[in-house]
Amino acid sequence: MDFFENLVRYFSRDPQPTGETAKTKRSLPKPLKFADDIKTLEGIYGDLHGKSITVELQDLLGICPRERHRVDAYRGLCNELLEAYQCTLSVVSQKTRNKH
């Protein structure tokens, strides 16, 4: 794409790339943002496809560390596992475990 095509696309608010670039981008596989975490979980739980895993927050922090020590820090990983592996990862903490 040249400058003018980008400029026209910007002002027309067309989010889809056109021409050769569109074909190239669609054929590339989506990189896994959580590849290291998934590899570590596979080492512990084996093949993740179709599994349902419940793990305590403290245990998961040791396996896949995060700066934010809360269940919501693992939402992206849970979504990625569900989308790519159909694996449900449930993270429970002392706060969420006692709520009924």
Question: How would DSSP label each residue in 12-55?
Answer: HT--S--THHHHHHHHSPPPPTTHHHHHHHHHHHS--TT-EEEE
Measured CA to CA, the distance from residue 95 to residue 29 in angstroms comes to 38
CA 10 to centroid of chain Cα atoms:
28
Q: How much is the pLDDT for 71?
A: 92
The pLDDT value given to residue 20: 53
Same domain, 17 and 53: no
Q: What is the pLDDT of residue 6?
A: 67
pLDDT at 2: 72
Burial of 65: CB neighbours in 10 Å, binned 0-12, 13-18, 19+? exposed
Domain count, the chain: 2
Shared domain check, 79 and 52: yes
Which helix (H) or strand (E) covers residue 9, if one does? helix 3-12
- 17 and 52 share one domain: no
Task: Tell whether 40 and 2 lie within a shared domain.
Answer: no
Residues 23 and 51 in one domain: no
Distance CA 91, CA 9 (A): 42
46 and 84 belong to one structural domain: yes
Question: Residue 87's domain spans which residues?
Answer: 35-97
pLDDT number for residue 33: 81
Q: Which residues pair with 73 in a beta bridge?
A: none
Q: What is the pLDDT of residue 27?
A: 43
Per-10-residue mean pLDDT of the chain, 100 residues long, equals 67 58 48 85 94 95 92 93 94 74
